[in-house]
Structure 1
């Protein structure tokens, strides 16, 4: 029988794995080492041996659109092209939150604080050379990797991806990505998108915490289970990597994934001519966005 361990705490999905040890004393030392504002939960699991896991939460809570994320001063300090794109990113994010409320009648909840300082590096680290599909995929991937927003990072990144492709070709329209609301009244992805979202979340999780998962695998865990029942079969991911190598390798895989997503979106939109269309550079994209103002 496969041993499963929840990545998020089963009673509060805001909490995720932060520390793993079979040593109860080491577990106690870890907990004592957290600052007083850190929220902590501890669970034990019977795998090949008893393993203790510390789950922690970022401390952010409440509706994402009620968090104070007035970024005007920060965005104004950015290089000009980054400032224009970041402004549009925040607009897309706000629109996602509002659309979610209008469709579901409830607010998107924040699970982390906004990391405004991550937005400009996300834009600077993108290779803006290549086809429109490649650049749009890199743009979406890097925004997701940086995880600057308190929630809805994937939805916002897809919105920016569409915005970029429409600046390349105004006739482009992103194929439907979300299912019509069912009786649960919860946002859900179309099947073709869901495989990308799920793998994206697996790669993000392994990239951030693969070192901890290596120990879990050694102690007998076969599968980590994220919220929404996203399974991470540990044997399918290389975990025994130095942190820098893990971050680099899984960032590359994540970028490839989102270029594949963008390519499929273009195919589904019947716009295959865009596959060979040159992309816009960052400054060209920013210039196009300024014309929308």
Structure 2
């Protein structure tokens, strides 16, 4: 039977795996040196494995979301105009997603970090072929993880807006979570995306688990990562770069699949928007848009 450990603590999913050992004494020593809230789990394999989890003591409810315009303006005032526009739209998308779906499904796992939005925009190959630009917009927003939740859902919406910015009559194929279409083709892309970003941030921690003969790591939503399928033995900075490139390629493939399923192969070779064209569309082309329709 495969030896499986949880990436998020089973009773506190805001606590994530930070250290593992076959020695409970070593784990206690790590716990004493931690400046964060911690939890321990001992996995009773034939050779036991002990795991230290770190995280926040509480998860906020989506009911607590209150990004009023004055508060948001203060948070993003130092960003360039492009970052401000994208931040406003991302927050509107998050609020729409919470409104459409049951708020109980959403938890706020982290603070809003708008400065990461500008970092994402700076890593997009603006003006490249449309699937590349749209995929990189989606990928980099997901990788920077600026929102407290729903980064994948809002990333897909931004991919859609990127395509619309060069083709106003584009009709996005359904990517809603409440139908079979999602389960058929959208969800597998998101699951693989979550595997990649989890490996990207944890290659050395997962290498440590692999050395303890752990086969599988399971993150929340039941997503399993088979460690033997990934290269883990590298410097953490190399892993950040390597798996970011893989994630961008993965999201570019998703953008291409979107265009093909929409029967818009004519857009596969179309030049993508410049940054200014994309920002202008977000600012002026979505004024009357009801974002709830996207979820």
C-alpha distance 289-116 of structure 1, shift in aligned 2 (>3 A): closer
Q: Report the CA distance between 1:179 and its aligned residue.
A: 4.0
Specify the alignment match of 1:202 in structure 2: 195
CA contact (8 A) 2:62 2:104 kept: no
Gaps of 5+ in 1: 183-187
Write out aligned runs for 1:8-157 (5 A).
Answer: 8-35=8-35, 38-47=36-45, 49-59=47-57, 61-64=59-62, 66-69=64-67, 70-100=71-101, 104=102, 106=104, 108-157=106-155
| SS of residue paired to 1:220 | coil
Q: Hey, what's the Cα distance between the residues in 2 that align with 1:266 and 1:181?
A: 19
Report deviation, 1:290: 2.8
Partners of 1:262 and 1:20 in 2: CA distance: 38
- Report the TM-score when normalising by structure 1: 0.90
Task: Check conservation: 1:200, 1:257, Cα contact below 8 A.
Answer: yes
Counterparts of 2:80 and 2:93 in 1: how far apart (Å)? Answer: 20
Alignment partner, residue 257 of structure 1: 250
4+ aligned runs moved over 6 Å, structure 1:
none
Q: Distance in 1 between matches of 2:164 and 2:157?
A: 11
Residue of 233, 256, 272 corresponding to 1:279: 272
Matches of 1:243 and 1:127, distance apart in 2: 25
Stretches of structure 2 lacking an aligned partner (at least 5 in a row)? 288-295
- What is the SS of the residue equivalent to 2:225? strand
- 1:197-276 pair list within 5 angstroms: 197-276=190-269
RMSD: 2.0
- Give CA deviations for 1:161-185 in whole Å, capped at 9, x if unaligned: 1111111111212211134379xxx
Count the aligned residue pairs.
Answer: 283
